[in-house]
Amino acid sequence: MADLKKQELSLFAPEILRPAVWQSFRKLTPRLVIKNPVMFVVEIGAVLTTLIWLRDLVAPTAQSQPLWFTANVSVWLWFTVVFANFAEAVAEGRGKAQAANLRKMRKDTIARRLVNGKREEHVPASELRKGDVVVIEAGEFIPGDGEVIEGIASVDESAITGESAPVVREAGGDRSAVTGGTRVLSDRIVVRITTNPGESFLDRMISLVEGAKRQKTPNEIALNILLAGLTLVFLFACVTLVPLALYSNISISVTVIVALLVCLIPTTIGGLLSAIGIAGMDRLVRKNILAMSGRAVEAAGDVDTLLLDKTGTITLGNRMATQFISAPGVTMTRLADAAQLASLADETPEGRSIVVLAKESFGLRGRPIADHPQFIPFSAKTQMSGIDFTDNGTLRRIRKGSVLAIRQHVAGIGGSFPTEVGSAVEAVSRQGGTPLVVCDDAQVLGVIQLKDVVKGGIKERFAQLRQMGIKTVMITGDNPITAAAIAAEAGVDDFMAEAKPEDKLARIRAEQAGGHLIAMTGDGTNDAPALAQADVAVAMNSGTQAAKEAGNMVDLDSNPTKLLEVVEIGKQLLMTRGVLTTFSIANDVAKYFAIIPAMFMTVFPEIAPLNVMHLASPQSAILSAVIFNAIIIVLLIPLSLRGVKYRPVGAGALLARSLLIYGLGGIIAPFVGIKFIDMTLVAMGLV
């Protein structure tokens, strides 16, 4: 089975490299190269120099450059294009490998289609249309994407998510969506198919990882325009240099002027641009997130407000008992014991956590209770649960429940509610906890504090986000006091208490009107409007179909905390483009110092001081610059596929660092590189 996580291929695995090499030559077709204006200019230059070489081979003229020189320039220009193609092919390679695995999953299963809701007929899964209803039983594959309309089943979704633990899918509620290609492990469900053939989740996933329908993202388009503009500027500068040099009786050969042009235009970023984009999408896929468009990934980098659901994102799923507070004259052990007894039959996570807390704090174990204990289950009406049993002949009625319920219960059987317990209750509420009061008959024993447990490390994460300039807003159905306490503990910037789905939507609209870009996660159908409104909306794969359709990303692992990583990947994508652009342009300085003296040296030997690198000869200088220009593309492929590391520091510090490494470094590196290549050429006796 295709398991995206486990079968991850390393960047330069042979099964990626081999086809990539072949692809990089196949991509020399002008039809494909023309999409990249910078590389197209290089290819034209390569064709031109090749033709000149052929002409000189047949009929050399007096002005001709030596054949070896033209041949070398020409070959390295071809290499420049090939290297750029190679970068793109490697980036696509991993996606293709994943797509091949996914395709294997799309085996044609036989679906059991229900006709008129009763009769079953067997049809190939590929013939299922939207709206068909199918039955799936344990051991069978789900034939297509759909929504459970009847039944409950555990489903193995490891094929899609890589997560081996089965998940529960049931009709109604927020866990009703099933994905084609996954397998039902137990029970029987009836599913309504929601996609037509070719549009299924799997199909979309395949086309996404393959990059088949990759469209340029807005920032990529803008950058492309900038690069095309720079290419034009350098084209003017190079072409007009011919007559300007002719003024001083310097005749510059076409080969040399093409070499200068190719060195000056931003080939490094031009050659790596599409690889960067593909690799960015790929990084998301490897995190098990499917982005429906590259636009969404870029938008993730721009997001400045995160709306986060409290439960599951900021806190662990459920409240837990964290503390017992006993009433005056009651020992802690007695309170814990009573609390444990009252919770023995309570299968809710809260109930279990009380049993566990009593065990851990006071060594109390759950024990069998003699004489037909009677468990009183929790009901919405009574707001209490507990146990009635006979202890040494006397009937004990232990109850735990909300303050109000216990107060009434105790009053009803002639007890009193100690004021100390009342203030303990208030204190717990103030700290964001939920108080449960425990009583044994008419005596109030004390308070159990239930609290949301904030996920470990989340506070640091939010602090980082703040450094990145991103505001976090916690959304919760809790009352404002509880919400404020948790918000403070988790370190979010803002919170929305007692929030209803409509409030979420209203909040998003309000933030957007203020110029903010919002990201959120959601899984329920009632989240759909807010997901649709948010700029970046990550739907949980476990969520409903409506939520998935409203969002622009789907997280296959259904882990809401991953939103933070999405933001980082978005930023990384833009940063990688930015730094390589800077690097590419900064490189030009050294190339000028290599080529300009070389061009004019014959007529103006006095210009020699400009040859600061002391390159061996004019031809060696030009060739070294061209070779450097080609090789640097290959050297930067790993960086462009991995992306530059994002650091959660302010924009100013980030930029200063990038400018230092890629701006200043981009000026210095080619001086070293070109000199090195020049020395190598001399050592090899080539020049």
Partner 1 sequence: MTTIGWLQILIFSGAILALTKPIGVWMFRIFEGDRQPLPRFFGPIERFLYRLCGVDPKEGQDWKQYTLALLLFSVIPLLVTYAIERLQAVLPLNPQNLGAVGPDLAFGTAVSFTTNTNWQAYTGEATMSYLTQMAGLAWHNFISVTSGIAVMLAIARGLTYRLQPGAAKTIGNFWVDTIRGLVYFLLPISIVLALVLVSQGVIQNFSSYIEATTLEGAKQTLAMGPVASQIAIKQIGTNGGGFFNANSAHPFEGGNPLANFIEMVAILAIAAGQTYMFGRMARSQKHGWALFSAMAFFFLIGVTTAYYFETRPNSNTAMQGLAVDQTAGNLEGKEIRYGIANSVTWATATTDASNGSVNSMHDSFTPLAGLVPLANIQFGEVIFGGVGAGMYGMLVMVLLSVFIAGLMVGRTPEYLGKKIESREVKLAMLYVLIFPLIILYFSGWSAVVPYGLSSLNNAGPHGLSEILYAFSSAAGNNGSAFAGLNANTPWYNITQGLTMLFGRFWMMIPVMAIAGSMLGKKVAPPSLGTFPTDGTLFVLLLVGVVAIVGALTFFPALSLGPIVEHFLAQAGKVY
Amino acid letter at 605?
P
Selected from 151, 166, 422, 663, the binder of partner 1 by CB under 8 A is 663
- Does the protein bind partner 1 through residue 659 (CB under 8 A)? yes
Selected from 3, 15, 150, 302, the binder of partner 1 by CB under 8 A is 302
The H or E element containing residue 386 is strand 384-391
Q: Which of residues 538-577 bind partner 1 (CB under 8 A)?
A: 570-575, 577
Q: Which of residues 255-284 bind partner 1 (CB under 8 A)?
A: 260, 264
Q: Which of residues 495-524 bind partner 1 (CB under 8 A)?
A: 513-517
Polymer length of the chain:
687
- Does the protein bind partner 1 through residue 236 (CB under 8 A)? yes
452 classed as catalytic: no
By DSSP bridging, strand 518-522 and strand 536-540 are parallel
Of the two residues 14 and 652, which places its CB atom closer to partner 1 in the complex? 652
322 CB-near residues (< 8 Å, 6+ apart): 357, 433, 449, 450, 451, 453
- Does the protein bind partner 1 through residue 246 (CB under 8 A)? yes
Of the two residues 226 and 506, which places its CB atom closer to partner 1 in the complex? 226
510 CB burial (10 A radius; 0-12, 13-18, 19+): exposed
Selected from 307, 646, 677, 678, the binder of partner 1 by CB under 8 A is 646
Q: Which of residues 460-479 bind partner 1 (CB under 8 A)?
A: 466-471
Given 174, 309, 440, 535, the catalytic residue = 309
- Nearest distance, CB of residue 295 and partner 1, angstroms: 11
Of the two residues 131 and 229, which places its CB atom closer to partner 1 in the complex? 229
Question: What b/e readout covers 637-646, taking b as 16+ CB neighbours within 10 angstroms?
Answer: bebbbebbeb
- Nearest distance, CB of residue 94 and partner 1, angstroms: 23
214 CB-near residues (< 8 Å, 6+ apart): 274, 277, 278, 281, 294
- Does the protein bind partner 1 through residue 607 (CB under 8 A)? yes
Q: Which x/- pattern over 209-228 shows residues binding partner 1 (rule: CB under 8 A)?
A: ---------xx-xxx-xx-x
Selected from 114, 123, 171, 242, the binder of partner 1 by CB under 8 A is 242
Is the C-alpha dihedral spanning 244, 248, 254, 258 positive or negative? negative
- DSSP string for residues in 572-598: HHHHHHHHHHHHHHHHHHHHHHHHHHH
- Nearest distance, CB of residue 578 and partner 1, angstroms: 3
Of the two residues 86 and 628, which places its CB atom closer to partner 1 in the complex? 628
- Does the protein bind partner 1 through residue 294 (CB under 8 A)? no
Torsion region of 119: left, alpha or beta (phi above 0 gives left; psi -120 to 50 gives alpha) = beta
Contact, 572 vs 283, CB < 8 A?
A: yes
Selected from 21, 245, 356, 506, the binder of partner 1 by CB under 8 A is 245
- Nearest distance, CB of residue 507 and partner 1, angstroms: 16
- Does the protein bind partner 1 through residue 233 (CB under 8 A)? yes
Contact, 410 vs 442, CB < 8 A?
A: yes
> How many residues lie near partner 1 (CB under 8 A)?
80
- Does the protein bind partner 1 through residue 238 (CB under 8 A)? yes
Whole-number Å distance between alpha carbons of 54 and 57: 5
The H or E element containing residue 26 is helix 14-26
Of the two residues 525 and 587, which places its CB atom closer to partner 1 in the complex? 587
Instruction: Catalogue the active-site residues.
Output: 309
